[in-house]
Amino acid sequence: GAGVSQSPSNKVTEKGKDVELRCDPISGHTALYWYRQSLGQGLEFLIYFQGNSAPDKSGLPSDRFSAERTGGSVSTLTIQRTQQEDSAVYLCASSLGPPDTQYFGPGTRLTVL
């Protein structure tokens, strides 16, 4: 079956612009996660959704970052007023629910000029 998909695969934006990143989880997976990987770093947890609610937003680095999930499926991560330090690969994962294995998408590479 289809895995986790993310779009766009690459995004180049100018400092100060808003961006939206999309994640389509594996069908039937109720849990959805966002991580980011900055250059030379490990993956950093951002937010976790169970259904449409987000019981853990503890990893969002600032109030410029927000995420939503609709219909228990697609999720959008929005970064407002992007800064150069936001440049990273943003990865989405889904699972049947913790602690079930998380399956990752290919990521969106965000570059803020």
Partner 1 sequence: DQQVKQNSPSLSVQEGRISILNCDYTNSMFDYFLWYKKYPAEGPTFLISISSIKDKNEDGRFTVFLNKSAKHLSLHIVPSQPGDSAVYFCAASGVVTGTASKLTFGTGTRLQVTL
Cα 67 to Cα 109: distance, rounded to the nearest angstrom:
17
Please spell the DSSP secondary structure of 63-76, one letter per residue: TTEEEEE-TTS-EE
Interface with partner 1 includes 101 (CB under 8 A)? yes
Interface with partner 1 includes 70 (CB under 8 A)? no
Which residue's CB is nearer to partner 1, number 16 or number 98? 98
Interface with partner 1 includes 53 (CB under 8 A)? no
Residue 83: closest CA among 58, 68, 95, 65:
65
| Residues near partner 1 (CB under 8 A) | 4, 31, 33, 35, 40-45, 48, 50, 55-56, 58-59, 91, 93, 98-99, 101-107
